[in-house]
Amino acid sequence: MYRVGKALVVVALAALAAAPLSAAGFGIFEQGAKANGMAGAFTAQADDPSALFFNAGGLGFVTKQEFSLGFTWIRSSKAEFRGANPYPGVGYRADQKTLSEFPPHFYWVRPINNVWKFGFGIETPFGLTTEWNDNFAGRFISTKAALRVFDLNPTLGWQVTPSFGIGVGAIVRYSDLELNQHVGAINPFTLGVADVGKINLKGDFSEGYGWNIGILHKYNNSFSWGLSYRSRVTVDYEGNGRLTQIPTGTPFDQVVAGVLPYGVKLPVKTSIDYPDMASLGLAMALNPTMLLEVDVNWTGWSRFKDLNVDFTGGSGNSLPDATIHERWKDVYNYRAGFRWTTSPSGQWRFGYVYDQTPQPEQSVNPLLPDADRNGFTIGYGFTGAMKVDLSLMYLDFKERSRSVSFADDTSGPFYGKYKTRAWLFGATVTF
C-alpha cells in the first residue's frame, strides 16, 4: 500500500510537469491588434511596430520613432468535457472554469539613420491556463496548469535598398509555471479511491535565449513578400512542490502520512523546449484601397519527445524522478487577411485562420485538450492624435476525442470528448 501511494504521487507530478508541452494551443500569435484583425496574416506587411514579432524585416522601413502598447483579452465561452468508458464513463460531464487572461505587448522603434533602425519589444508568445473544479473526475491529472512567458526582443533593422529590409534580433525569454492536482489512493477501510493530498508545484522565473530574423521585399506598389523566423528557446526551471494532506477521516490518514512527504518543500527541476517558428507571407494590392495577404506558418513541435522531471531534495523531501512521453509533430497554420482603407484615417480588417494541432490523441487530457481550430476575425484602425487598433477573433476548436493511450503510459485512461470555443479581443495604441 505504501508503494502504491508513492507511485501515484510520482505519476501525478509527471503528468503535471507535462502540462506546458501540450500543444500549439498554448502559443499566442496575437501580438498586435492591427495584425490580429487580419488573423495574423501580416508577414508581408509588417508596417507597424509589431513587426518586431511578426517580421523583423519591416523594421528596416521605419521612418520615425513610435511606441505601441496593448493587450489581447482571451476569454473562453465554452470548455466542456463528456466522459467515455472505461473511465470516467459515458454520461459524465464537466466544464472548465472560465478562462480570462490579458497577455500584453509593447514595442518601441526608431531610426538610427536613413539605413539602420532599432527596435525593442516585449511580447508574450506563449501562455497557458486551464483550471477545473476540485471535484472534477480528472483532478488526479490536473486541477490547474498555468504558464507565463515574456520575451525581451531587441532588434536591429537594415534598409538594404528602398524596397528591401532585413531585421535581426535577440530573444531573452523569462517564464514561470504553476501546476496543481489531487493525489488519490485506494483506502482499504472503504475500498474506494480517496483523495489523500493536493500537490502545488511552482517553477520560479527562469530565462532562456534565442534569436529571430526577418526579410521584407516590397517588389512594387502592388506586391510584397516576407519571410520570418524565430528560433527555438530552452528554459530550465527550478522550483518547489508542496504536498498537502486531505484527511479521509479514517485510520488510512496515518498510513499515508507515514509514507508521503506532506508539508515540506520538494525541490524539483524540469525543462521546456519551446519550438521554432517560420512564416512566409504574400501580399497583393487589389486596388489603391484594398489589400489581400495570405500566410503560411510552420511550428517545429516535433522536438517534444520526452520530458524529464527531476526531484533534487534528497531523502525526506524528495520523490523519484520521472520521464513522460509527449511525441508531438510539426504543424502548419494558414492565414488570410484583408484590409480596406475607407478614409485617410480609417481602415477595416478581416481575416481567417486554420490552425493544426500537433497533439496526438494519446496525449489529450485535462491539462490542455487541444484540437484543430478555425478562427474568424474583424478589426478596425483609426488615426487621430494617436493610432488606435482594435480586433476581435472568434476561435472554434473542433471536437476532440481520446479513446487510446500510449503502450508505455502509466497514468491510466481518462477518456472522453472535449469541446472548446473562445473569443479574443485585442487593443493596441501607437503614438
- Convert the pLDDT of each residue in 331-341 to its tens digit: 999 999 999 99
pLDDT tier at 179, thresholds 50, 70, 90: confident
208 DSSP β-pair partners:
173
**Burial bucket for residue 335 (CB in 10 Å: 0-12, 13-18, 19+):** buried
pLDDT at 274 over 50: yes
**Which DSSP string do the residues of 287-328 spell out, in sequence order?**
ETTEEEEEEEEEE-GGG--EEEEEE-S-TTS----EEEE---
Asked if 321 contacts 309 with a C-beta cutoff of 8 angstroms, the reply is: yes
SS3 3: helix
SS3 60: helix
Domain that holds residue 30: 2-430
pLDDT at 296 over 60: yes
Peptide bond before 49: cis, by omega within 30 degrees of 0? no
Share of the chain above pLDDT 70, in %: 93
pLDDT at 199 over 80: yes
SS3 63: coil
29: left (phi over 0), alpha (psi -120 to 50) or beta: alpha
**pLDDT digits 0-9 by tens, 88-146:** 999 999 999 998 999 999 999 999 999 999 999 999 999 888 899 888 998 988 899 88
> At 396, which CATH number?
2.40.160.60
Q: Which cell is 118 given?
A: 532599432
How far is Cα 347 from Cα 132, in angstroms, rounded to an integer? 41
Query: Given this model, what pLDDT does residue 7 score?
Result: 38
Q: Lowest mean pLDDT: which of 6-20, 218-232, 288-302, 363-377? A: 6-20
327: left (phi over 0), alpha (psi -120 to 50) or beta: left
Query: Given this model, what pLDDT does residue 420 score?
Result: 93
How far is Cα 391 from Cα 245, in angstroms, rounded to an integer? 46
**pLDDT digits 0-9 by tens, 18-48:** 333 333 658 899 999 999 999 999 999 999 9
CB atoms within 10 A of CB 324: 22
pLDDT at 9 over 60: no
Q: Where are the beta strands (DSSP E) in 136-276?
A: 144-161, 164-187, 192-218, 223-230, 233-245, 265-274
Q: Which cell is 103 given?
A: 497577455
Task: Please give the tally of structural domains in the chain.
Answer: 1
Q: Which cell is 171 given?
A: 530573444
How wide is the angle at C-alpha 78 spanned by C-alphas 180 and 365, nearest 5°?
40
> Considering only CA atoms, which of 424, 430, 312 is closest in space to residue 378?
424
Q: Which residues of 218-252 are buried (b: 16+ CB within 10 A; e: fewer)?
A: beeeeebbbbbbbbebebebebbbbbebbebeeeb
Give the position of cell 470516467.
88
How far is Cα 146 from Cα 22, in angstroms, rounded to an integer? 12
Q: Which residues of 260-274 are buried (b: 16+ CB within 10 A; e: fewer)?
A: bbeeeebebbbebbb
Q: Lowest mean pLDDT: which of 12-16, 295-299, 338-342? A: 12-16
**Which DSSP string do the residues of 236-259 spell out, in sequence order?**
EEEEEEEEEE---SSTHHHHHHTT
pTM: 0.90
Torsion of CA 156, 271, 355, 369, to 10 degrees: -150
Q: Which cell is 52 given?
A: 518586431
**pLDDT digits 0-9 by tens, 395-412:** 999 999 999 998 888 777
Helix (H) or strand (E) holding 38: none
How far is Cα 63 from Cα 112, in angstroms, rounded to an integer? 9
Average pLDDT over residues 186-199: 87
SS3 235: strand
pLDDT at 369 over 60: yes
> Considering only CA atoms, which of 409, 323, 321, 319 is closest in space to residue 6?
319
